[in-house]
Structure 1
Amino acid sequence: MPHGLACAYCLPYVMEYVAPAMPQKIRKIIEIFGEDSSCVEKNLLGGKVKELLLDFNKSIGIEVDRTLVKDISLAEIEVEMFQAFAPRHMGKMEALEILEKIFS
């Protein structure tokens, strides 16, 4: 799978996951998309940013191609690099849950 597509596929779901740890930054992203973030409740920020990013991906022709991923294995997930930068803890199980949301 091309690196850019992998990033585009994952970004909406990763932003949804980290939203509770960085609500102000998520609000800013929502506003970049021309939406008023002040009317979005804090617990709904992740879902809103995910929706906006998925719509953006679709508008530029990026939709998940489920044929690219046949099997998601915990052994293939290199979570350590995410843990170094993530504003919210992400273990292998959390990473797998995100991948399952993307490719199921």
Structure 2
Amino acid sequence: MTVNTTKGKTPRPKTSGSKSQDAPRLTRVGVKEFRDKATQLLAQATPFAVERHGKVIGFYTPLGTSPEQQDRVVQAATRLDDTMSRVADELGLSLDELEDLLVREAQ
């Protein structure tokens, strides 16, 4: 995945050449810009990353609204919860401790 590091603006993903060969660019926005322009950013219905002090702290990925898409999201969230619980148990950690460990490793 290529990343567009333009700050202060919310550019649309650029593509060139064959669509099957080029990955779309991910828009990156700062926390303040996200706070100030949340409505516009969310209305674009395109993924973006939120940064604090130049580090990505989260991603927004729009979900589809069809019943099938919503069912897939619920199923994926359930599988993630089950996996996190299983891994925490295997490591002898609480879920909070595992989440803290994952956050530290991501930084």
TM-score, length basis structure 2: 0.24
Whichever structure has more helix as a proportion of its residues is 1
Whichever structure has more strand as a proportion of its residues is 2
Higher Cα Rg: structure 1 or 2? 2
Higher relative contact order (CA 8 A, sep 6+): 1
TM-score, length basis structure 1: 0.24
